[in-house]
Structure 1
């Protein structure tokens, strides 16, 4: 059954209340691999013009300055936007994370960041990195803190050692990697899951089940997948620099997938990743 919360996602401006009371848009623009400068700035401006209010970047994407340019040129009030960035693995640790945060904030040209994430659970470092995030949060330099690519055991380490519960866990999530145990764990701890690579980098566009469902609703496969995310209570941040695709990805609020079609998509799960397993990273 779909929850009342899931059914309430009716508009591109709709937000989910995080566990610290901050509200985050259900849909955002991802900018991984978007080139710094005009390409990413134009994508950000297009997304904002089309109604998006959430932008997700990271230090390692090397396009924070372009994202900041797009925000500055959008003409939208800063408080209407929700900006996420992430500390990269080589910068993890307490003092180095504090320094990396300031570098990201300066590149973005912002007084504060809405959401700051640990990008990957680097063994032996992510506990100290989380302490730094808690410091940034308590100092008011970031409105919310969370993690990315954390398995349940990584989250348990943070819950046991820290004093702040992450608001978000951003992970690879798509119909072939439904992460049911992780999603249930996050929901039980009031941690909202967020999907990166929700479209599996285009690898699902020819799937017959998804194409059949898309035809039924008069939607694209990408729109069906993104709607599936939302109806599972998962924030989604599809990446594109193409204005038409950005618009199409945002056009997912005028239909709902039936319980039967949700179950058909759920049944596609194969625990198949396009990215690395967070337990086996060497970068």
Structure 2
């Protein structure tokens, strides 16, 4: 890491340390019951604290957050394009939801621990048994009035394209009868920095984390798009197609 990137890294590292060592314990204390269960504007205080802390993490990394559209209240299946580990932080900064994520994330420093605190549902890739358990947990949460966030592509890519959406992951929304809201995650002006935020070839989580900590500040947009009513969409495959179409259209917008 050289030049301006090294300078940004040096400036942000103390901020990150403060956010982890000081802000995080305060956040966790406030989240404990009964304080964390206090309702503020229809949202538990513990959810607001998660959003506050994740929003702070985005600012430390230089992501200037902008939201377009309104996230649905109540039980909703949120589906987004998948670029990097940053996606979960970006979405959590705007709306509390329990994510479906690969099991490896649980072992990542800091992010894995935070993901678990954020009610993440872990999935072992390639395991039908694991996916069955994930769908069962998703259905239970949606029926209980809680929201779930998924990345239907199933994995991250290089940031230059959006892969096909796996239809099976939409089954829980169909069976629970809840709406699906597509979300477009755009990094950089006009989504120009998707490849920068994405993992490079053979880049580890730690390497990506440290590299992004030294990257220039950039606009970051979270677009909550038109929801899909599962009762009128024509089945999970059509829901998957509609969700992907709306995200691809939003990514191409100026």
* TM-score, normalised relative to structure 2: 0.31
Bigger helix fraction: 2
Larger RCO (alpha carbons 8 Å, 6+ apart): 2
